Amino acid sequence: MSLDKPLTRNVRPDKSPPDMAAYEANGGYQGLRAAMGKLSPADCLQIIKDSNLRGRGGAGFPTGMKWSFVPMDEAPGPDAHKYLICNADEMEPGTFKDRLLMECDPHQLIEGMILSAYTIQADVAYIFIRAEYLVATDLLRRAIADCHAKGYLGKNILGSDYSLEMHIHLSAGRYICGEETALISALEGKRAIPRAKPPFPQVSGLWGRPTIVNNVETLCNIHHIIERGADWFADLGLTSDAGTKMYGVSGRVKNPGCWELPIGTPVREILEDYAGGMEDGYAMRGFLPGGGSTDFLVEEHLDLAMDYDTIGKAGSRMGTGTMIILDDKTCPVGFVKNLVEFFAQESCGFCTPCRDGLPWSAQVLDDLERGRGRPEDMDTLARQVSFIGDMGNTHCALAPGAMEPLASGLKYFREDFERHIKEGGCYFHAGGAH
Amino acid sequence: MSAQLIAALSDAEIAAIDAELAHVPVRAGAAIDALKIVQAHRGWISDESLKAIARHLHMSAAELDGIATFYTLIFRKPVGEKVILLCNSVTCWMKGCNALQQKITEQLGIGMGETTPDNKYTLLPMTCLGACDKAPVMMVGDDLHEELSEQSLLEIFPRAGSGGSQ
């Protein structure tokens, strides 16, 4: 087992970010220099494919495969743009890993983006970042300017015939912008409505041109893989998944935080060794493994490996890898209600199951909390889960994602839902906190 | 009649918007950037500002309003000097954001969506701010405040509520 932590190797105890000089002194931009000299875009693509890197935004799609759909044989021309977009719109409830990566090592992301853009031969790159991430935005702007000064960005990078422009787009809010086609709509200045696929963005994305959208953490991995090789990366994982993962824990644990660990680290180890176990006086009832749109898992799942396939087989998703812990003093109905209200509010409004279905779900959950629940509400919620949760019924994955904590909440905490109806309201939160 | 009703964009606003227009193949493509630029200068987007931006981008005011009202961080009503974004997503909810909201309301005398009479603060709910290990959190203007408590709110908003705060 390797203790290599490539993503956080430059993260200092005081979290102050290395500047260009410090980043370079620690081996930064060597991957870029090496690639520009001797690796073709096809070579880079093969390395990423061989590495088995999977998208760290939550879906876990193989990055190399995603990139392989970008057309590489188009005739060059003034309008023949290709785009690489970094999705830095971190808004999944309970997720706080990309903020850390950008605030503590901005150049790592930029170097990864330059190499990724080179691989797909993109000539323009965007960082789509949420407006609240002001510290990260300032650092990235500075890093981009420093890269221009060094010849890492701009025309003829390091004397090669490859050129790349990089821009930052500050979002104007809305969770749906994290969905890659909605993000593209937002970058085009429109309402962030997701688009039907196909065509996939790799073929027809921003302004109808080939476009790749990748998460911050995914892109931060790229230069390490190009530099150290696919085998090195594959060996970092403890299971069949490759690399390390930024895992996080929030909720009533002793030491909430975010740590880079080998992918496949058992849930229990993350919870107990890193998050320090539950706060005194609290016990765990369940957890969402990777953000607000993942299904609850419970005690019996604590010894599972946190990787895409293992968590998937257990009926949930690893998602963003940042866990939210439900403790025994928090109402599971209120917890789910908070999430469903979030998703209802963040619906783009395009399709009916999401626009009208999610507020309905939220209303039923609110009724339960406030003592207006009726026995038939249990059937209503189950029906909503099947109507709204079926991917085929909605325009994008937002509403099905919203149903994941509800469906699994009904499964694991059914007695709490029923007791809310029987006892006429919520018996947690004596202070009326809901 | 329309000419007088459309407030002109300032030279600085036009220069900033035109810099964004350089990256986009159609003028309407800079709509969100333009809204943010004008909001940065004026604090919010009035109907007059909206019409002026729309005219500069060669789009209808109605279409631009559809975009402006979609995004939570474009303000179509006036806001105070600092906007308080109180995270109400799940981890902050577990850690007591609702009680903190009540406390802020008591201290500043404003509920969600309201602005203090001295125009210093507007209180708004915000989705997960990506600092869940430090929950509960909020932003006040450009600053993120972590691990909030009733005590820390007293320090962040000293003597607030009756005008002339800070």
8 A C-beta contact, residue A225 and residue A51: yes
Q: Which residues sit opposite A246 in a β-bridge?
A: A260
**Is it the case that residue A428 has pLDDT exceeding 80?**
yes
Note the pLDDT tens digit of each residue in A235-283.
999 999 999 999 999 999 999 999 999 999 999 999 999 999 999 999 9
Q: Which of B94, B98, B127 sits opposite A342 (nearest CB)?
A: B127
What residues in chain B have their Cβ under 8 A from chain A's Cβ atoms?
23-25, 28-33, 35-36, 66-67, 70-74, 85, 88-91, 93-94, 96, 98-99, 126-135, 139, 142, 144
In A, which residues are within 8 Å of B33 by CB distance? 169, 189
- Asked whether residue A432 is assigned to any structural domain, the reply reads no
Buried-state track A71-106, b at ≥16 Cβ within 10 A, e below 16: eeeeeeeeeebbbbbbbbbbbbbbbbbbbbbbbbbb
Structure tokens at A382: 């189950």
Confidence of residue B85 (pLDDT cuts 50, 70, 90): very high
**Is it the case that residue B82 has pLDDT exceeding 60?**
yes
8 A C-beta contact, residue A147 and residue A165: no
CATH code of residue A394: 1.20.1440.230
Tally of CB atoms within 10 A around B15:
11
Q: Which of B36, B73, B133 sits opposite A250 (nearest CB)?
A: B133
**Is it the case that residue A298 has pLDDT exceeding 50?**
yes
Boundary (domain end) residue, out of A236, A267, A290: A236
Boundary (domain end) residue, out of A327, A354, A389: A327
What is the chain B residue with the closest CA to A188? B29
- Asked whether residue A434 is assigned to any structural domain, the reply reads no
Interchain pair B89, A192: CB under 8 A = no
What is the chain B residue with the closest CA to A89? B130
**Is it the case that residue B61 has pLDDT exceeding 50?**
yes
Interchain pair A324, B91: CB under 8 A = yes
Residues A185 and A88 in one domain: yes
Confidence of residue A77 (pLDDT cuts 50, 70, 90): confident
Q: Which of B32, B89, B98 sits opposite A433 (nearest CB)?
A: B98
In B, which residues are within 8 Å of A95 by CB distance? 128, 130, 132
Specify the pLDDT at position A391: 84
Note the pLDDT tens digit of each residue in A89-106.
999 999 999 999 999 999
- Asked whether residue A154 is assigned to any structural domain, the reply reads yes
- Domains of chain B, with CATH numbers? 2-68 (1.10.10), 82-156 (3.40.30.10)
Boundary (domain end) residue, out of A184, A217, A236: A236
Specify the pLDDT at position A430: 46
SS3 of B55-68: the string is HHCCCCHHHHHHHH
Q: How many inter-chain contacts (A to B, CB under 8 Å) are there?
A: 125
What is the chain A residue with the closest CA to B28? A189
Interchain pair B70, A330: CB under 8 A = no
Residues A229 and A251 in one domain: no
CA of A338 vs chain B CAs: smallest distance (Å):
6
Specify the pLDDT at position A3: 60
Interchain pair B90, A339: CB under 8 A = yes
CA of A198 vs chain B CAs: smallest distance (Å):
23
Q: Which of B28, B72, B128 sits opposite A189 (nearest CB)?
A: B28
For every residue of chain B, DSSP letters joined together read -HHHHSPPPPHHHHHHHHHHHTT-SSGGGGHHHHHHHHHHHHSS--HHHHHHHHHHTTS-HHHHHHHHTT-TTS-SS---SEEEEEE-SHHHHHTTHHHHHHHHHHHHS--TT-B-TTS-EEEEEES--S-GGG-S-EEETTEEE-S--HHHHHHHSTT-SSSS--
- Asked whether residue A23 is assigned to any structural domain, the reply reads yes
Residues A296 and A222 in one domain: no
CATH code of residue A64: 3.40.50.11540
Interchain pair A132, B129: CB under 8 A = yes
Full residue range of the structural domain in which residue A81 is found = 6-236
**Which of A21-25, A156-160, A428-432, B144-148 shows the lowest per-residue confidence on average (mean pLDDT)?**
A428-432
Residues A172 and A121 in one domain: yes
Residues A116 and A252 in one domain: no
- Asked whether residue A427 is assigned to any structural domain, the reply reads no
Q: Which of A173, A257, A334 sits opposite B133 (nearest CB)?
A: A257
Q: Which of B70, B130, B139 sits opposite A192 (nearest CB)?
A: B70
- Asked whether residue A30 is assigned to any structural domain, the reply reads yes
Interchain pair A94, B90: CB under 8 A = yes
Residues A117 and A206 in one domain: yes
Residues A260 and A351 in one domain: no
Residues A110 and A185 in one domain: yes
In B, which residues are within 8 Å of A91 by CB distance? 127-128, 130
Q: Which of A190, A251, A431 sits opposite B94 (nearest CB)?
A: A251
Residues A230 and A282 in one domain: no
